[in-house]
Structure formats: C-alpha cells, structure tokens
Structure 1
Amino acid sequence: MSVSHDTIIQIEIDDSGKLHIKPEYEKFIMIYRTATEVHWNTENNTLYSPTPRDRTYLEWFEQIIKVVKEECSCDLYITEQTEWINIPNQLKKEIAKAQQWP
C-alpha cells in the first residue's frame, strides 16, 4: 500500500485545550473508527485530540501523526509555512524536533 503525503498548514491549541492539526488537502472524516481518541472536525477540517489528561501535547501530536500514517496511509509533516496558533515556543520546538525538521 502506498503512503500519501500532505503538509500541515496549521497547528492550534483551541480555547478548550484541544490540539488541532490541519492538513492542506487530505480529509480524515472516518478517523474516529480507529478508536484512538483522534477525531476529525468537519467544520474546520482539522484532526484533533481530547484535552490532555494523561498525555502531553507533544504526545498527542505524535499520536495523531502515527494514527494517520498507520490507519490512513498518509504522512503529515510541518513546513516553513505551517501556521502556529496558541502553541508555546517550547512545544513548537519539540514538535519540530519530533518531525526532524530544522
């Protein structure tokens, strides 16, 4: 099975504390079926996690990326154009490091 690739155009922590990841093109409407607590917001076209309880935001970011790759055969990655909203600088650095991005 071939793996598709898509850029992450936005990463946001919303007012309720959920981490949202917005792919540029791909839609993951059925992601809830994976039973991994990763969901799709059809209004904003974002993947999102629950508000962190036992996982950090970095762990949720990694979980979302992993579930999309394993269950949907798509690699998501950040670029210089990725927009960061309400993401602390330290978390941005951790995400960039996890993605092996400069």
Structure 2
Amino acid sequence: MDSRKDNRKYGAYLARQFYNGKKPIRLIEDEFPYSETDSDLKELFRLIKNTPKRKGLFKASKEKYENYIINVYQLIEDLESDLKQEIIKEVLINDKNELLLKISGNGNPTYQYVYREAAGVYWDDNEKGFKSTPIKEWTASKWFLQISSIVKSCLGVDLVIDEKTRWNKISDTAINEIKNAYNKKHSAFGN
C-alpha cells in the first residue's frame, strides 16, 4: 500500500476518533497527515478545525449542523473507500466461548492493534482471526457486527462472508441472525 492511501485512511480514522469524542482537537492537529497535494485530506482537516458549535450564543442551526455532519461523513467514507477485504473462511465459537472469525489469508501485522479500540475485539495470530471477549450478554450476531465494525473503522478492513464460509459450533438460529445482519449491513452501505 502506498503512503497516499495510508495517509487517507489514517486521516479518516482520526476524523472518526474526533467525531466520536475519543480524541481532542489538539491531538488531531498534531497527528493529522496533512497533505498539500491531497484535496480531500485538506478539506477534511479544514472541516475538523471549523466544526460548528452546537451550544452557546454562536451555535449553528440544526439544519446547518446536520448538513455539516453529512458532508464530513461522506468525505470520511470517500477516504476509506480503498478498503482491503478479508474473506472469512470460518465463523465459530471457541472453547473459551469467544466468537472467532478466521480469515482466509495470514493477516497483517497491524491487525494486532485492533485491541487499542477498547471494544472487546482482538486479533488471534495463532488462529488467524478476529475474536470477541467471552460471550455473555451479547448474541453471536451482535458480536459479529461489533467485530466487523471495529475492524473496518480501526484497520480499514472489510470482513466478508461468502458461500464458502464454514460455521462451527454455532446454532442455525445464530447463523441466520449473523447472515441477516451481515446482508442488511452490506445492502445499507451498497457493498
């Protein structure tokens, strides 16, 4: 992957961190991969620095703020559009009662950093897959969506199930819930 793609994904990642309240503006300003040659990155940085106020005397109207958010997230999605895909070869619940999504390839060394999101998602290098914490309150389908979402937003990787995906130690009900949730999510985003 070239540095331009890396910068675009990292810029999108930082923007999501900022808008989700996980990183303050001063850290974004220090870390943002500013580029004179990438107009999308320049625009995203400008939008972050000029976020309309939602409270106080000079707050933006609801309509203006909603339009701003729509524009920002469209730009973030454009920057993320170079997503890498990993095919899920097997979905299973392991002996520790963790949902494990094994991928077809060997993964990438950066996958280990998914834990930094503090969202209960981890990379298992021995199994070559992403896993949840032990399943307690959440269903397997909710964990599937959590893992997929975190991996996509943190690593820029879209986890894909296909007709060859195997299901192990998962009830038929859970399989149907996962497939329905997956199909709903992917049809909603046009993937």
Instruction: Output the TM-score relative to the length of structure 1.
Output: 0.90
Judge which range, 12-21 or 22-31, deviates more. 22-31
1:8 alignment partner AA = I
Query: 5+ unaligned residues in a row in structure 1: which ranges?
Result: none
- By percentage of residues, which structure has more strand? 1
Which residue in 2 is equivalent to 1:90?
173
2:163 alignment partner AA = E
- Identity %, equivalent residues: 28
- By percentage of residues, which structure has more helix? 2
Larger RCO (CA within 8 A; separation ≥ 6): 1
Which residue in 1 is equivalent to 2:96?
16
* TM superposition outliers: structure 1 runs of 4+ over 4 Å: none
Coordinate RMSD, CA, aligned: 1.4
How many residue pairs end up in the alignment? 101
Judge which range, 76-85 or 92-101, deviates more. 92-101
Instruction: Output the TM-score relative to the length of structure 2.
Output: 0.50
Q: 2:146 aligns with which of 53, 63, 77?
A: 63
Which residue in 2 is equivalent to 1:49?
132
CA distance in structure 2 between the aligned counterparts of 1:20 and 1:11, rounded to whole angstroms: 6
Which one has a bigger Cα radius of gyration? Answer: 2
